[in-house]
Structure 1
Amino acid sequence: MAKVKLEHLTKIFGKHVKQVTEMMQEHAPKTDILEKTGATVGVYDANLEVNEGEIFVIMGLSGSGKSTLIRLLNRLIEPTTGSIYLDGEDISKMDKKQLRDVRRKKMSMVFQNFGLFPQRTVLENTEYGLEVQGMPKAERREKAEKALKNANLLAFKDQYPSQLSGGMQQRVGLARALANNPEILLMDEAFSALDPLIRRDMQDELIELQAKQGQTIIFISHDLNEALRIGDRIAIMKDGEIVQIGTGEDILTHPANDYVRAFTEDIDRSKVLTAENIMVPPITTNIDNDGPNVALKKMRAEEVSGLVAVDRDRHVKGFLTAENAVKARENGSALDAALTQMTTVHKDTLLSDVVSVIYDSPAPLAVVDDDNRLVGVLIRGRVLEALADTTDMEVE
């Protein structure tokens, strides 16, 4: 079951809701609805699922509906129609008390403006939400200090916001949101006011904190580079509609329409595509079973001049060239003595990081999974092809 699920969620700003709804059922464009009714469709029949423990980025240009959508999730804005499910329970049907409990205990939100109280210290700002909940002072202080420690801010707990840089203030805002250990963290353009270097640091910190604490994070951004950097999956919005949902690689290589294609055309794909996207199937020899004759026969059959040597568990042991296999046969030696070193890379290694490695490698690169088992091979020609094709790349 999804952690968060939206079904036919719609927000209409203005009058003539019935007429607008009828026009939406006919799939009328947002601009036509505005012209004929004077009403604005902020979110247009949105459907999506967010998995537990993922960073899900919702993005689009100004006016696309992304900020409206995130405010619908905790009902800062009331939906016109549709359902919002949290762990299978419909938030849109909750009364004020139930909704208040959800906001206090299950969801926290971080805004672009840090929203810190200037007269409160860093520690007092961080424990504010817990104070509102009525938590005893000693307990809330302990939780706040833990959140500040995770954000590397504990040493600054007695300082005031005016004494901190913009990046540090944003980290305090993030620590405050995380202090009560929410299951879901909503972040609306949280880093967009920061300069590029601080912004990148905050992105790294968010990824690290999420890995430690496992929150489900729904992150609003207008920056595709940011979305690709932090997001497990991305939803792209246009005119209130969700036009595509997928991983960064899905969206770059298989854009749903011309809008998404234009949206992504300036992205450096070498910083998105991974070894797994461009690897080729490996041709192997098992050093626990095969000898030089079997290895040479495989090379002739496959029309290659080398094989990846693995053991029974498919752990990479080295690279076997035809020349070394012939020498091993002539000397009557085992294959393991004829192997040359082979560089391995994890399947999630970015293409940009592969380039320098493969240029210095005399052999192909072995691609391995989390268990260090061989899953593919990177050859220089395939890497160059992927780098050269930056406009309409199809990954097989």
Structure 2
Amino acid sequence: MNAAVEFKNVDIVFGEDRAGALALIDQGATRAEILDKTGAVLGCAGANLIVNEGEISVLMGLSGSGKSTLLRAVNLLNVPSRGNVFVHDGDKTVDMVSCDPSALRRIRQTRVAMVFQQFGLLPWRTVEENVGLGLELSGVPEAERKARVQKQLKLVGLDQWARKYAHELSGGMQQRVGLARAFATEAPILLMDEPFSALDPLIRTKLQDELLQLQATLKKTILFVSHDLEEALKIGSTITIMEGGRIVQTGAPEDIVLRPANDYVRDFIANVNPLSVLTAWNVMRDRRDLESAGESWLWLDRRKTTRFKLDTDGLVIDAERNGRPAVWVSCDAMEQIPENEPHVFWARPGTSLKTVMHAMHRSQTSPVALFDDSSRFVGAIGVRDVLSAVLRR
């Protein structure tokens, strides 16, 4: 994977005595100690983070942890006191900290767009005029500007509201205008600073779903700030947890939940429902660990109710449940269970554990088989595997 943004040893300090604050950072001083001794405020210290192209990377932490401070260093709204912020720009990489004004302007106009918590819509401009504002300021010709605006409004489902004003829109619709405005620039990197936190829970959940749907099509690189852990676990490809201006842990959502780096992270995730994070891959038993049921046969479960016969390529050529031939049913199609006919549920490794558990319940706790994208059998999940994973968490 290619890095779209990379933070390398980034320190951000606000105040006059920055040199004194940086010296204290090198000594491992806390934010409170730095403030007491220098009067300077530590924004973030020693930040090292890579955001890969096409992923949603979420910065998490309590209020004042430094997540928004770090985010705003990407487009130099916050200027690092030390370190580098590299942004991928076509066939080269630009260090935002040391680049010249023309390179900074190009990055801001064509490579990086931002969506704020407050929608920032101009009340005297229509929806389409708000969406096209950045393009207008960049000097994009009117015909091209209108075409791009209409395309983005349709993408976010607001094409019928193009001539309305901000006060005629709900909060969720106003935030969609903010998204369309960022998308209209066609910048590959989006900075989203708690964009949904000011919305009601139901609207916030809907916009999270819509963002994931848009991302599946657009494949932007998104650096997303949130204080809502459930939101981070839902949308994040990776999650970075910050405390007191420092990065504490970075990893995939399941890594954060299953392997917290310290007590701070452990407390942070204490109330997380593991079913919202874990996938079939996290709890399955590899096919190599399954018990043999005769030549080329494997038992999927410890109770020995279900077995497969495999060919040399790992493809299933026969399946039985309770001694009778079994048919296949996807976990995503639980309502299609055949009546009075043995069946075996199957899933992909990325299927959510919650979906797997629903299928197991529907089939009276039968095991679930896992197949890769080439239809090779890779493992199985039984009730005990699920219980072990949840209890271990």
* Structure 1 length-normalised TM: 0.88
Match of 1:164 among 139, 145, 169: 169
CA–CA distance in 1 between the matches of 2:43 and 2:319? 58
Match of 1:209 among 210, 214, 230: 214
CA–CA distance in 1 between the matches of 2:3 and 2:356? 35
- How many residues align structurally? 369
Match of 2:251 among 246, 251, 269: 246
Structure 2 equivalent of residue 35 of structure 1: 36
Is structure 2 residue 384 aligned with structure 1 residue 381?
Answer: yes
CA–CA distance in 2 between the matches of 1:347 and 1:366? 10
CA–CA distance in 2 between the matches of 1:379 and 1:342? 12
- CA drift of 1:267 comes to 0.4
Match of 2:269 among 261, 264, 271: 264
Unaligned runs of 5+ in 2: 326-340
Amino acid at match of 1:201: K
SS in 2 for 1:86: strand
Alignment of 1:184-223 (within 5 A): 184-223=189-228
CA–CA distance in 2 between the matches of 1:359 and 1:74? 49
Amino acid at match of 2:348: H
* Deviation readout 1:161-218 (Å, 9 max, x if unpaired): 1111100000010000000211100000100001111111111111111111111000
Match of 2:237 among 232, 240, 250: 232
Is structure 2 residue 276 aligned with structure 1 residue 276?
Answer: no
SS in 2 for 1:342: strand
SS in 2 for 1:155: helix
Question: Which entry has the higher C-alpha Rg, 1 or 2?
Answer: 1
- CA drift of 1:352 comes to 1.7
- Comparing both structures, which one devotes a greater share of its residues to helix? 1
* Deviation readout 1:117-158 (Å, 9 max, x if unpaired): 111111111111110110110100000110111111111111
SS in 2 for 1:116: coil
Deviates more, 1:366-375 or 1:24-33: 366-375
Is structure 2 residue 372 aligned with structure 1 residue 369?
Answer: yes
SS in 2 for 1:294: coil
Alignment of 1:100-139 (within 5 A): 100-139=105-144
Deviates more, 1:229-238 or 1:16-25: 16-25
Kept in 1, the 8 Å contact 2:74–2:87? The answer is no
Structure 1 equivalent of residue 81 of structure 2: 80
CA–CA distance in 2 between the matches of 1:85 and 1:50? 10
- CA drift of 1:241 comes to 0.3
- CA drift of 1:312 comes to 4.7
Q: Identify if the C-alpha distance between structure 1 residues 321 and 342 changes in structure 2 by more than 3 Å, giving closer, same or farther.
A: closer
Is structure 2 residue 260 aligned with structure 1 residue 255?
Answer: yes
Q: Identify if the C-alpha distance between structure 1 residues 284 and 383 changes in structure 2 by more than 3 Å, giving closer, same or farther.
A: closer
Q: Identify if the C-alpha distance between structure 1 residues 171 and 190 changes in structure 2 by more than 3 Å, giving closer, same or farther.
A: same
Aligned-residue sequence identity (percent) comes to 43
* Deviation readout 1:241-277 (Å, 9 max, x if unpaired): 0110001100011101100000000000011111110
Amino acid at match of 1:314: G
CA–CA distance in 1 between the matches of 2:136 and 2:208? 28
CA–CA distance in 2 between the matches of 1:219 and 1:321? 46
Q: Identify if the C-alpha distance between structure 1 residues 305 and 355 changes in structure 2 by more than 3 Å, giving closer, same or farther.
A: closer
Kept in 2, the 8 Å contact 1:33–1:40? The answer is yes
- CA drift of 1:322 comes to 7.5
* Deviation readout 1:373-396 (Å, 9 max, x if unpaired): 322101112223334x1xx52xxx
SS in 1 for 2:28: coil
* Structure 2 length-normalised TM: 0.88
Q: Identify if the C-alpha distance between structure 1 residues 21 and 307 changes in structure 2 by more than 3 Å, giving closer, same or farther.
A: same
Kept in 2, the 8 Å contact 1:13–1:42? The answer is yes
- CA drift of 1:2 comes to 1.2
Amino acid at match of 2:12: K
CA–CA distance in 2 between the matches of 1:320 and 1:295? 13
Structure 1 equivalent of residue 359 of structure 2: 357
Structure 1 equivalent of residue 314 of structure 2: 314
Amino acid at match of 1:123: E
CA–CA distance in 1 between the matches of 2:289 and 2:101? 63
CA–CA distance in 2 between the matches of 1:293 and 1:166? 62
SS in 2 for 1:367: strand
Amino acid at match of 1:103: R
SS in 2 for 1:204: helix
- CA drift of 1:21 comes to 1.4
CA–CA distance in 1 between the matches of 2:218 and 2:257? 29
- CA drift of 1:83 comes to 0.5
CA–CA distance in 2 between the matches of 1:277 and 1:368? 14
Kept in 1, the 8 Å contact 2:296–2:309? The answer is no
- Comparing both structures, which one devotes a greater share of its residues to strand? 2
CA–CA distance in 2 between the matches of 1:178 and 1:133? 14
- CA drift of 1:22 comes to 1.4
- CA drift of 1:303 comes to 9.7
Structure 2 equivalent of residue 328 of structure 1: none
Kept in 2, the 8 Å contact 1:84–1:92? The answer is yes
CA–CA distance in 2 between the matches of 1:321 and 1:136? 66
Kept in 2, the 8 Å contact 1:346–1:369? The answer is yes
SS in 1 for 2:72: helix
